[in-house]
Amino acid sequence: MENQELVKHVTEKAEKWLAPAYDAETQAEVKRMLDSEDKTELIECFYKDLEFGTGGLRGIMGAGSNRMNIYTVGAATQGLANYLNKCFADRDSISVVVGHDCRNNSRKFAEISADIFSANGIKVYLFDDLRPTPEVSFAIRHLGCQSGINITASHNPKEYNGYKAYWDDGAQVLSPHDTAIIDEVNKVTVDDIKFNGNKALIQIIGEEVDKAYLEQVHTISIDPEVIARQKDLSIVYTPLHGAGRALIPASLKLWGFENVHCVEAQMVKDGNFPTVVSPNPENAEALTLAIKLAKEINADIVMASDPDADRVGMACKDSKGEWVLINGNQTCLIFLYYIIKNRIAMGKMQPNDFIVKTIVTTELIKAVADKNGIEMRDCYTGFKWIAREIRLSEGKKQYIGGGEESYGFLAEDFVRDKDAVSACSLLAEICAWAKDQGKTLYDVLMDIYVEYGFSKETTVNVVKPGKSGADEIKAMMDNFRANSPKEIGGSPVVLVKDYKTLKATDSQGNATSLDMPETSNVLQFFTQDGTKISVRPSGTEPKIKFYIEVKGKLECPKCYASVDAEAAAKIEAVRKSLNI
């Protein structure tokens, strides 16, 4: 009966998409789904409306309320325009930035969004071509805009596209604006969407903003002299067909690096990502061509950015000269270790400096911060929360860096989202600093482990697509709450943090409050042996994520293999305990 009700619901919803307000192509696609005996596709496309998550609006492209198309993008833009006109009614003019990445339909969605904003009396600064997400964030602040959007699905597969919404501080939209925008979007009917733009209100931008942004990125260099000494550092870079191609090689050149080799096949703008299975620098496969080139030229470092150039992946040579990937936790750890260590060495560290990490990112960062007397803050997953910490302390304390395990890092405060342009530039400086001491990036990582303790992290993604998947994910979270594990991987659970209730409960049942800005559907389990497990449904993808961190002790770099193997065995025991 429940399934019949669902089919009835989606059928009624889909039939509205046969109205004349929808174009012929969309109507034909919807009619095909309605006529099909198998209603699975119809359900997937219409069982819900796309919603803003930790990364904005994101979904598979196609017809339907649960798909990325000109109508869902149009409704989002019309709703945002309505909200902006309400919020800033006292202003003489309202302006927004519109950017996009390399994905199929990205330019189309960007131009349609620009038309809708302008039709609502809002001035639009539209980038002339694809640009990195962080530059869109920068441009909002640089041009004094009230909002902005970027059309991108970040590192998702080619079938996806997305819509990141930003506020006047250049950060992704947070409460109360996020829910208020959704309320406005939900009021929008297809007839309300003003598709016919006012070209007089659309200004094309490009090179002048690039120049200002790159000059600002250059200001975060901590030790220009080490770059001058190591300007021949051999760098291999790939944009994975995306927006990094526009600015990352230029930024490396501006910083003084003269030996940069781009993976030519992946410098081609292509939303089908023909040279990779998935354009995600977290995946080893995505770096295959870059590592191949690095081996050919005996490079010092490999770096890759995702399609919208906000995440950075990297590989370096280990003690045996073999190329190994540096994971997101290690990436964030290395960046913050370098910033802290060298700001202190250069006399640049100030008493009011602070760093930020997300709650699922390695606890080793806290060890580094504590030992050096630097304030460290924990926040929720999603860079909008790191941006919030910057905003809260603006004019009082100085943000000097922050990141998350999912390969995002921000080394500056003139951008309010993760930034692969500045991260790649700073990464090159870190490698130059290491090489200046006869070390590699791998050696730096080993130095950190010896001094601050060893940790090994892994993320397990349990993918559950569609409505049935969403129901399964909810059931899994409910079960963890109702039947909290008493031991994990052979070690007793000593603390449980539930961010949905904002309570931390120890093994004796004593509860304390968690100081967070709002609730979130995240659970964390801490065991006696120092293991941390975080569980959360993804805000942008049909999956539930398990973040596992186990601890160890590294006496010397030569012990790494055995310590790492012990940690891997412990992770397997954790996975077995959690049945994942």
Which are the catalytic amino acids?
154
Cis peptide before 176 (omega within 30 of 0): yes
* Amino acid (1-letter code) at residue 33: M
Query: How far lies 59's CA from each of 360, 365, 464, in Å?
Result: 24, 33, 14
Whole-angstrom distance, CA of residue 480 vs CA of residue 580: 13
The pair of three-digit structure tokens given for residue 417, joined into one six-digit string: 């989202």
Of 310, 365, 313, 317, the residue nearest 341 (C-alpha):
365
Whole-angstrom distance, CA of residue 554 vs CA of residue 4: 59
User: CB-based contacts of 296: which residues, under 8 Å, 6+ apart?
Assistant: none
User: CB-based contacts of 561: which residues, under 8 Å, 6+ apart?
Assistant: none
Secondary structure (3-state) at 546: strand
Concatenating the DSSP letter of every residue in 444-510 gives HHHHHHHHH-EEEEEEEEEE--HHHHHHHHHHHHHHHHHT--SEETTEEEEEEEETTTTEEEETT--
Whole-angstrom distance, CA of residue 473 vs CA of residue 556: 42
Of 113, 140, 131, 123, the residue nearest 202 (C-alpha):
123
Indicate the DSSP class of residue 207: H
Beta bridge partners of 203: 125
User: CB-based contacts of 483: which residues, under 8 Å, 6+ apart?
Assistant: none
Work out whether strand 202-205 and strand 260-262 pair parallel, antiparallel, or are unpaired: unpaired
Burial (CB count within 10 angstroms: exposed 0-12, middle 13-18, buried 19+), residue 558:
exposed
Helices (H), 47-158: 70-87, 106-119, 133-142
Query: How far lies 483's CA from each of 83, 469, 480, 496, 578, in Å?
Result: 42, 21, 5, 12, 12
DSSP H/E element including 29:
helix 24-35
Of 425, 405, 442, the residue nearest 532 (C-alpha):
405
Whole-angstrom distance, CA of residue 291 vs CA of residue 81: 45
**Residue 246 main-chain phi, psi, to 5 deg:** -70, -30
**Looking up tokens 């609006």, which residue turns up?**
57
* Amino acid (1-letter code) at residue 401: G
Integer Rg of the chain from CA: 24
% helix, strand, coil for the chain, step of 5:
40, 20, 35
